[in-house]
Amino acid sequence: MPIDQHTAPRPSDPAPQPATADPIAKLHLDAGHCAVVGLQWGDEGKGQIVDMLAPLFDLITRFNGGNNAGHSVLIGDQKFALHLVPSGILYGDKINVIGNGVVVNPQGLLGEIDGLRARGVKIAQNLRISSRAHVVMPYHRTEDQLYAQVTAAVSSGAEDIGTTGRGIGPCYADKAQRTTAVRVGDLLRPDDLQPQIRRAVSIKNAILGALAQLAQQPFTPFDADQVLAEALAFGQRLEPHITDTTHLLQEAIESKKRILFEGANAALLDIDHGTYPFVTSSTTSALGVYTGAGVPNGTLGNVIGVAKAYTSRVGGGPHPTELKDALGERIRTAGQEYGTTTGRPRRVGWLDLMAVRYSARLNGATGLVVTGLAVLAGIETLRVCVGYKLGGQMLDAYPADGLLLARIEPVYEELPGFAQALGDCRSFGELPPAARAYIERIERFVGVPVKLVCVGRKRDQVLAR
Ligand code: IMO
Ligand code: MG
């Protein structure tokens, strides 16, 4: 059935949720466009905030990353895990844009579309995909996995990045390489696509064969005809959604529509400004909005930075405040810190204010949202990292370099904990004094107002400051 004529019954159609005036009003958003970005290493709870803000906007736009991201949104008792589709899809009346800066795995996207439809979510012209977005091809996943296996096999002592294995890095690498790249728009032009895929598959087979040999892994070369046939079939199914989203967004801006830019991954995973090389392969910070969606400087009136009240990280790389003990296990359990995309246990630790301040500045955050505060209940003394020492010297700047960061020594400040469970608090004033003091400390250190505090995943657990 063509996508536009999708008329399946929608028994559990999630009701559009009206904006609860209070928390949103407290964000003091100006009338312009807005980005929501993560300030740590991901999984800060951006999905919940985007979902809450969506009613104020006409378009919800993804500008970076691929299906390595995982946003979970709770609507009533239903949990929706989104990887590529913007969270605004859960509202029937929003235009959801997958911008040119995103890398699209067509199989993953179609699976997500089918899964959402089966749960009654309408997906038609409300989902638009940039013809300039790059396609994650089947060999990209193999490449991602082979690089991890090579790292293990050659035992050079270098740490593995610990990718999600979704082929995101290899796809962005091909975008920069150009010769081996495939864009979404190409899927609609069989005559152009055929020679392009033949060339890419020949080159990839040679490279992957060599990598497999190094990793001492078996490798079956990709068959160009099969890759082409699959790609064309994906193109056919996605065609109704594929468009020039740069034009679409520019027109939207001209006609005074409001756009919400939904960040995926997070600022410390930014390819340029994150803890390189332990990062993802796109511009995850708000800086990526411009190139990843094709909108001009000045578009963003508001940048909402989301930070968790503690820190988590999945995959490899330094994590200065990591707790590898029973307390870490307790936070992981209380915070359900297991990956939405890969199910891996997240490496949790104390709140690293050096990192959050750096990210807030980088993103030009106009307001902060602190999530996960309730997870810290019952810990007698809380610690927050307020400085870094390297070779006995205090550092002024955040060393956004994975190898340097691994050598720093965190300097902590202790703050009194709170015993009380916070899930039932319905206003900032109802929080115990120690919890409020914790939030105030964050605000003072980072220098950006904390506008909202989340004490749970439900809508009424977002408290305005
Ligand atoms: P959301 O949107 C947490 C991490 C991976 C790995 C590194 C590179 O859910 O907050 P990649 O597959 O991109 O090559 O992996 O980045 N990573 C994330 N960690 N949340 C995410 O996104 C992430 N996206 C990438 O675990 O360490
Ligand atoms: Mg995630």
**pLDDT value for 135:** 98
Q: Are 200 and 101 in contact (CB under 8 A)?
A: no
**Ligand 1 centre distance from Cα of residue 30 (Å):** 31
CA–CA distance, 271 with 269 (Å, rounded to integer) = 6
90-to-22, 115, 213, 368 alpha-carbon distances in Å: 21, 13, 45, 24
> Which residues does ligand 1 sit against, CB inside 6 Å?
38, 41-43, 68-70, 161-164, 166, 168-169, 264-266, 269, 280, 314-316, 340
Supply the residue whose CA is at minimum distance from atom 14 of ligand 1: 163
Residue owning the nearest CA to atom 11 of ligand 1:
163
Report residue 143 as tokens.
Answer: 């490449």
CA 448 to ligand 1 center in whole angstroms: 26
Residue type, 34: C
**Which of 87, 261, 268, 280 has the most ligand 1 atoms within 8 A of CB, as the residue to mutate?**
280
What's the CA-to-centroid distance between 457 and ligand 2, angstroms? 15
**CA atoms within a 13 Å half-sphere pointing along the CA-CB vector of 421:** 4
Tokens describing residue 18: 């009206």
Q: How far apart are CA 183 and CA 218, in angstroms?
A: 29
Report residue 106 as tokens. 């067509």
pLDDT for position 459: 83
The residue ranges of the chain whose pLDDT is under 70 are 1-22
Q: How far apart are CA 183 and CA 166, in angstroms?
A: 17
Distance CA 214, CA 216 (A): 5
pLDDT at position 157: 86
How is 398-410 classified by DSSP, letter by letter?
----HHHHTT-EE
Claim: this prediction has a pTM higher than 0.85: yes
- Res 28: pLDDT: 79
The DSSP line for 96-133 is EEE-TTBEE-HHHHHHHHHHHHHTT---STTEEEETTS
For residue 363, give both structure tokens.
Answer: 């993103």
43, 174, 270, 352: which one is catalytic? Answer: 43
**Residue in the block written with tokens 């199910």:** 343
Residue 156: the pLDDT is 84
**Dist. CA 254–CA 248, nearest whole Å:** 10
Place of tokens 């919890």: 435
